Structure formats: structure tokens, C-alpha cells
Amino acid sequence: MAGAGLVILAIDVVTKIAAVASLSDRAPIELLPGVLDLRLTRNPGAAFSIAGGATVLFSIVALVVVVIIVRTARTLTSLSWAVVLGLLLGGALGNLSDRIFRAPAPLRGHVVDWIHLHNWPVFNIADSAIVIGGVVAVILAAFGTALDSQPAPRDGQPNPDGPAGPDGRHATDIDDRDGQ
């Protein structure tokens, strides 16, 4: 998880530095006319520039998300979830670093966005990582992949923990101290 998070954070920081250096005070650079261009914007709000006046609130929410992800890492054994949480962590830290270190002030900084798909708001690498991580998290949850295990067995497939008893517990779940 930490590796994925650090990779996303590094790519996001480097690309934002390059975007500010290359795209400031110039017209957008058309890569695919009518589809994709690069343009520098500074976003004080959330996704789609919503609630620009709530920058401090978004900074606090991002800090809480980072803390929750880091605390979750202690019980994490699923590689798939580790990658997903790494994407979310790297994305959250990328945008949070803008909010902390960029103008106009700490916790009020504007997020640097620079990728523009036409008919879509301008975004950055951190935003992409958050969206991809969110989509994959939904897929993992839909397939029953727990944070601390591999995908849940489907009907008709053997359970690696052995058969469940009438109470739904497996032999590995029973605690000898409770007398059961």
C-alpha cells in the first residue's frame, strides 16, 4: 500500500510542477483536437470546482481519509486492497499537499489541475488515482474480497477454512476459551 501511495504521490507532484512550469500564462496545448488538451487551472473546491469556499473543510476531510487509510493498513493482508488503498492514499496526499503548500495559504491552497478531456472538468493524476481506486474498490467489494483475505468462496466451491457449522462459524473461528 505504501509503495503504491508513494508512486502516485511522486508522479502527481512531479507532473504538477511540470504543468505549472510549462502551462502557466499560455493557451491550452491541444493533444487530440476536440478530445484532450493540457491547460493549467487552480481549483479551490472539490471535484468539478464545487464549494470553492470550503477549502479548509476539504483539507480536514483529506487528513481524516489519510488517517483512516493508514490505520486500516495495520490489518490489511489483501494485495488487491493494498493497491486500491495505495491509489486512494497517494491521490489524497497529492491533493492535500497542494492544499497545504500552495497559495493562497496553508489548508486553503488551490489544487493544480492540468488534464482536460473535453466535456469534462480539468483534473490531475491524484484525481485519476482516487477515481480508479474508488472504481476498483467497488469491484472488489462486489466480488466479496475482504481487506484481510482473498475473494470469498462462491457457492459450490470449497471453503479454505473448512465447512461452516450451523451457526455459520468455521472451525478456525471457534475460541477454545469460550467453551464451544
β-pair type (36-43, 29-32):
antiparallel
Active site positions, annotated: 113, 127
Determine how many CB atoms are found less than 10 A away from the CB of residue 63: 16
- What is the rounded CA–CA span in Å between residue 38 and residue 122? 9
Cis peptide before 121 (omega within 30 of 0): no
Cα–Cα–Cα angle for 88, 131, 122, rounded to 5 degrees: 115
Q: Do the beta carbons of residue 69 and residue 134 sit within 8 Å? A: no
The whole-angstrom distance between residue 14's C-alpha and the CA centroid of its chain comes to: 18
Q: Do the beta carbons of residue 6 and residue 91 sit within 8 Å? A: no
Amino acid at 73: A
